[in-house]
């Protein structure tokens, strides 16, 4: 989700022809390099579900479907062949865009042909249309269908907001780290400030979607809808409301100050809190539907987090090291290198 969030951010920068973010393109391309390995892990987990190694998706069990009218009415969409066909379409589209845009970006470094820039612009604009549809459907398939009795028309946007802010936060953390190691002399306080602004703004956007989904369902009090939140409030109370504090209250209070947005230590601290908060957000989306009140948080959760964190760090930094760290062939590169937000520097 972090890699996919950065891919969306990258495509938005390309499609909007933003000038400030070009010095960060190679870092974004490095982070999105995890997209293929991450997708393979997801496919393996989904395949284990289909092969009955786990019972994450109850609609995959024919006996459950036979005795459940609600799931039976959704079988045209929720069936294993169509489920995996959709998954392959999503992943293929994301990986193709990432690899093609990466190749064109590197080609720009040696060939200052403006047609490459135009091609990237059109390609990214088209991809964003595919992304908006595929990301929403992915969230329905891989997360919401764990609880196939419940649905929310806001869910795709809600998942997107979480992955988007997590991706931007990860980009900020890696940027600050590499700058501290003297690899990014062309990145200044204004670039850090802009990433912190996105962290601040998208955190509020996420909270808006969280509250809209929660308030409308809670207020209408329709049994088959409100049960989703009753489970989380009764059995996951601390985690459910705690992640709101981590994902909204803390970033809001800290990053509201403009000076804090360019202070590396504060951006790092806030970034770590946001990453942990959105880990808990994903935990809240999946665990109540998967195991009900039989949840725990211990070595398995921490070990799993650290395992994938290690793979992520290895893949991302290896990808970053494969190419020059500055996209020097972009026509707006000088604008990006001299970018100033008022007089921050």
Domain ranges (residues) in the chain:
1-149, 150-295
* pLDDT tens figures, 321-331: 999 999 998 99
For residue 212, what is the enclosing H or E element? helix 189-220
Neighbours of 235 (CB within 10 A): 16
Would you state the structure tokens that stand for residue 138, as one six-digit string? 């992915």
The phi, psi pair for 69, rounded to 5°, reads -65, -35
pTM across the whole model:
0.94
**Phi, psi of 66, rounded to the nearest 5 degrees:** -60, -25
* DSSP secondary structure letters along 86-144: HHHHHHHHHHHHHHHHHHHHHHHHH---HHHHHHHHHHHHHHHHHHHHHHHHHHHHHTG
Output the pLDDT for position 55.
87
pLDDT tens sequence for the chain (345 residues): 999 999 999 999 999 999 999 999 999 999 999 999 999 999 999 999 999 898 899 999 999 999 989 999 999 999 999 999 999 999 999 999 999 999 999 999 888 788 899 999 999 999 999 999 999 999 999 999 999 999 898 999 999 999 999 999 999 999 999 999 999 999 999 999 999 999 999 999 999 999 999 999 999 888 888 999 999 999 999 999 999 999 999 999 999 988 889 899 999 999 999 999 999 999 999 999 998 888 888 899 999 999 999 999 999 999 999 999 999 989 999 999 998 876 655
Q: pLDDT tens, 198-256?
A: 999 999 999 999 999 999 999 988 888 899 999 999 999 999 999 999 999 999 999 99
Report the pLDDT value the prediction gives residue 296, as an integer from 0 to 100: 87
Nearest one of 130, 121, 138, 133 to 96, comparing CA atoms: 130
Rounded to whole angstroms, what are the CA distances from 147 to 144, 314, 316?
Answer: 6, 34, 33
Helix, strand, coil percent content, the chain, rounded in steps of 5: 80, 0, 20
According to the model, what pLDDT value does residue 112 have?
Answer: 76
Cβ of 325: how many Cβ atoms within 10 Å? 18
């Amino acid at each position: 989700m972090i890699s996919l969030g950065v891919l969306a951010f990258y495509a938005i920068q390309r499609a909007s022809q933003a000038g400030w973010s070009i010095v960060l393109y190679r870092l974004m391309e490095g982070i999105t390099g995890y997209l293929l390995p991450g997708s393979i892990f997801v496919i393996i987990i989904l395949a284990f579900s289909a092969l009955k190694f786990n019972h994450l998706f109850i609609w995959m069990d024919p006996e459950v479907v036979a005795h459940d009218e609600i799931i039976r009415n959704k079988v045209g969409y929720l069936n294993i062949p169509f489920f995996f066909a959709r998954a392959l379409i999503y992943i293929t589209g994301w990986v193709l865009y990432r690899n093609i845009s990466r190749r064109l970006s590197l080609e720009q470094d040696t060939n200052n042909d403006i047609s490459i820039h135009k091609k990237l612009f059109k390609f990214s604009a088209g991809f964003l249309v595919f992304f908006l549809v595929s990301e929403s459907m992915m969230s329905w398939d891989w997360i919401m269908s764990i609880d196939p009795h419940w649905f929310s028309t806001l869910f795709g946007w809600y998942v997107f907001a979480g992955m988007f802010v997590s991706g931007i936060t990860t980009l900020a953390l890696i940027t600050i780290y590499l700058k501290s190691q003297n690899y990014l002399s062309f990145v200044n306080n204004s670039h850090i400030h802009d990433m912190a602004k996105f962290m601040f703004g998208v955190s509020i956007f996420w909270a808006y979607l969280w509250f809209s989904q929660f308030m409308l369902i809670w207020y209408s009090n329709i049994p088959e809808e409100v049960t989703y939140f009753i489970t989380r409030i009764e059995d996951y109370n601390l985690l459910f409301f705690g992640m709101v504090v981590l994902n909204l209250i803390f970033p809001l209070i800290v990053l509201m100050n403009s000076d804090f947005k360019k202070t590396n230590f504060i951006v790092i601290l806030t970034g770590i809190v946001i990453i942990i908060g959105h880990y808990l957000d994903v935990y809240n989306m999946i665990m109540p539907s998967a195991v009900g009140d039989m949840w725990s948080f211990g070595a398995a959760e921490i070990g799993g987090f650290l395992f994938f964190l290690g793979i992520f760090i290895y893949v991302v930094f290896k990808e970053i090291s494969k190419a020059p760290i500055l996209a020097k062939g972009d026509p707006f590169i000088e604008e990006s290198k001299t970018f100033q937000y008022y007089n921050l520097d």
